[in-house]
Every structure is written in C-alpha cells, then in structure tokens.
Amino acid sequence: MINSSKLDKELKEAGIKFSGCNSNGVVFDGYNEIQDRPDVRAVLDAHAPTPTVSKFKGKKPKDLKPDERNEILFGHLLDENGNIK
C-alpha cells in the first residue's frame, strides 16, 4: 500500500525530480515511469504508508511514552514488526 501524498513528500525530500506519483507506487517524470530507478526505488522501499505524525498531533513531547518517541524518530527505518528495513 502506498500513501501517495506522503510518498510525494518523501520523493521531494530526497531531491528527486518527478512530475507525480500514485497509490500503486508508479512515479512519473513527464510521461516516463521512473519507479525502477535506484534512487526512486530506495525511497519506495523505505516508504511507510502510515502517516505517523498525525497519530501524535496535538501531543507535547513530554507527554509521549518512550516507544512513541522511538516511533517518531525511527519509524521510517523500521518495518511493521520493528525490524530494521
């Protein structure tokens, strides 16, 4: 599953030039699909569709439990089971 709005942001943060992406994981540069490029593939492989930040919106850092802090800090590096991707 792909969160296309989150993927869009992740691709931009990675400095990848593209014209769009969709929830199937297809990334476009004009009329060309570029999701198989190594740099784009790395972003797709690291993509976690759940927007973890929204889960904690409105909470103050002091109110977060240690495992919640870790989820925010390391969420993009871990899979659903907590293993490093």
What global pTM score does this model have?
0.60
37 plus 3 within the same structural domain: yes
- 52 touches 71 (CB < 8 A): yes
Q: Which residues pair with 56 in a beta bridge?
A: none
At residue 52, the pLDDT reads: 59
Instruction: Give the model confidence (pLDDT) of 22-81 as tens digits.
Output: 988 999 999 999 999 999 999 999 987 775 566 677 788 788 888 777 766 666 565 555
Helix (H) or strand (E) holding 77: none
At residue 34, the pLDDT reads: 97
45 plus 79 within the same structural domain: no
3 plus 38 within the same structural domain: yes
28 plus 40 within the same structural domain: yes
42 plus 2 within the same structural domain: yes
DSSP 82: S
At residue 78, the pLDDT reads: 58
Tokens of 60: 């103050």
